[in-house]
Amino acid sequence: MTGLVFGRVPTREGSMGMLDEARAGNDLYATFDTTEGQIVVKLFAKDAPKTVSSFVGLATGELPFQDPKTGEKTQRPYYDGIIFHRVIPGFMIQGGDPTGSGSGGPGFNVEDEYQSGRTFDKVGLLATANVGRPNTNGSQFFITTSKPTYLNNKHTIFGEVLSGYDVVEKIAGAPRDGRDCPRQDVVINKLTISTTQP
């Protein structure tokens, strides 16, 4: 895997794409339309600019990624149709893997961003999932249903749930198998990025 390269994304004359909005540190919101309901998250573009830029670019299709099925570089909304592949009541829900196995990603890594000093001091935080080593963040993320302070400075916190936390709890409580995967798929039908709070 290689590092993420940041450049300007071409858009229509006079308009900024969502990726450019993220890179500029502007307020952005992510709306997860799931099979269990809607979750709205405020993204921390100023606190975690590389992480938010990667997440936004993948969500909107502005950032290319390596298709895990074909191995080819492609560009389309990445998160649409992806499942929450790991749910643990009283801890978190995890998604962002197009293979649904917990080991898939976009073909690049994003470095850790802890400079904001944010900690897991409340529920409903959006953070990067990684493989337990520094700078191995890709496309996977989790939303907390607990305050796992032992994860401080191990996972980049890049957003907070503004509405739909009840949906997060509902997903976390879904019947699951021995690998903590929901027995019935919980799908992100569409992930939308906006400059105004829905």
Rounded alpha-carbon distances, angstroms, from residue 10 to 18, 20, 55, 143: 11, 9, 18, 31
Which candidate in 84, 142, 158, 191 is catalytic? Answer: 142
| Whether the Cβ atoms of residue 55 and residue 30 lie closer than 8 Å to each other | yes
Dmax over Cα atoms in the chain, in whole Å? 51
What is the band of 12 on the pLDDT scale with cuts at 50, 70, 90?
very low
Can you list the domains of the chain with their CATH numbers?
18-194 (2.40.100.10)
Which candidate in 109, 155, 158, 191 is catalytic? Answer: 155
Mean pLDDT of the chain: 93
Burial of 74 (0-12, 13-18, 19+ CB in 10 A): middle
- The two structure tokens encoding residue 22: 């993220």
Residue 142 bears catalytic tag: yes
Residues 54 and 4: their CA atoms lie apart, in Å, by 8
Residue range 20-57, pLDDT digits in tens = 999 999 999 999 999 999 999 999 999 999 999 999 99
Look at residue 156 in the predicted model and tell me its pLDDT. 98
Residue 28 bears catalytic tag: no
Residues 44 and 189: their CA atoms lie apart, in Å, by 23
What is the band of 7 on the pLDDT scale with cuts at 50, 70, 90?
very low
Which candidate in 130, 137, 140, 158 is catalytic? Answer: 130
Which candidate in 6, 91, 162, 176 is catalytic? Answer: 91
Look at residue 15 in the predicted model and tell me its pLDDT. 55
| Whether the Cβ atoms of residue 11 and residue 119 lie closer than 8 Å to each other | no
Tell me what percent of the residues of the chain surpass a pLDDT of 70. Answer: 92
Question: Residue 125 carries which side chain, given as an amino acid letter?
Answer: L
Q: Where are the alpha helices (DSSP H) in the chain?
A: 18-23, 49-60, 165-172
Percentages helix, strand, coil for the chain (3-state, rounded to 5) are 15, 30, 55
